[in-house]
Amino acid sequence: MAPGRGDACRARGAAGMCATAQAALCKATAGHRQLVLQLGGSADSPRLREERCRRSAEACELSTGLRQALLAGLQQGPESPEERRELERLWVLFLSALELFLQDLRRAQHLCQLFSAQGGGAASLRTGLGGWGPPSRRGSRRGGGPTQPPAARCLEEEIEQVRATLAEMESRANIPLWTVEATQPEGTGG
C-alpha cells in the first residue's frame, strides 16, 4: 500500500477502510458472477475457467481481509455510535455478499460438472445433436471412472472456505440482522 493511501485509510477510520474493501469485494464477486453465467455456454473455454478461478481467488482474499477488519473494528469498540452503526451495516452487506458468492460457487461447481472440459480443453456443450462426433468421442463422457477433475476439488475447497467464513462471522459478531438500519445518501435512490 502506498504511504499516502495508507494514511488516508487510517484517517477515515475502520468504517471507511471497510467500506473501501466492501466495494472491492462487490466488484470482484460481480465479475465472478458474470463469468459463472457463461459456463457451459458458447463462450465457455479454458481461459474463461481460469479467469473464473482467478476472480474467485481474488474474492476469497478480499473477504478474508474484510472479515478481519470488520471483526477488529467491531471488537475494539468504534470511536462513535455512527461508526458502530456503519460497521454493523457493512457487516450485514458483507454477509449478503458472501452468501451470493457462495451461491455462485455452487452454481459454478454444478455447471463445471455438467460441462466438464474434455480432451484438448474444449468444453463439451450439450446441443441435443448426438452421435455427430467421431466414434472415439461418442460415449466418452460416460467412460472412465467417477474421478473428479482438479477444478471440482478446488471449487469444493472454495465453497467450504466461504461457508466457514460465514459461520465464523455469524458466531463472532453478535449483531442481529433485523437491528441494522439501511442507510443511503439522499439523491442516490432509484
Q: Please compute the mean of the pLDDT values over residues 176-181 and round it to a whole number.
A: 60
What is the residue range of 42's domain?
12-124+156-172
Distance CA 81, CA 142 (A): 60
**Whether residue 129 has pLDDT greater than 60:** no
Structural domain total, the chain: 1
DSSP state, residue 115: T
Distance CA 15, CA 164 (A): 24
pTM of the model: 0.71
- Reported as a pLDDT band with limits 50, 70 and 90, residue 30 is very high
Q: Has residue 46 been placed in a domain?
A: yes
Q: Has residue 111 been placed in a domain?
A: yes
* Structural contact between residues 156 and 109, judged by C-beta atoms closer than 8 angstroms: yes
Q: Has residue 139 been placed in a domain?
A: no
- Reported as a pLDDT band with limits 50, 70 and 90, residue 116 is confident
Distance CA 47, CA 38 (A): 12
Domain of residue 26, CATH code = 1.20.58.70
Q: Has residue 143 been placed in a domain?
A: no
* Structural contact between residues 45 and 117, judged by C-beta atoms closer than 8 angstroms: no
Give strand pairing partners of 118.
122
* Structural contact between residues 94 and 26, judged by C-beta atoms closer than 8 angstroms: no
**Whether residue 189 has pLDDT greater than 90:** no
Q: Has residue 47 been placed in a domain?
A: yes
Q: Has residue 138 been placed in a domain?
A: no
Q: Has residue 132 been placed in a domain?
A: no
Question: CA 66 → CA 35, 98, 171, distances in Å?
Answer: 23, 11, 16
Q: Please compute the mean of the pLDDT values over residues 95-104 and round it to a whole number.
A: 94
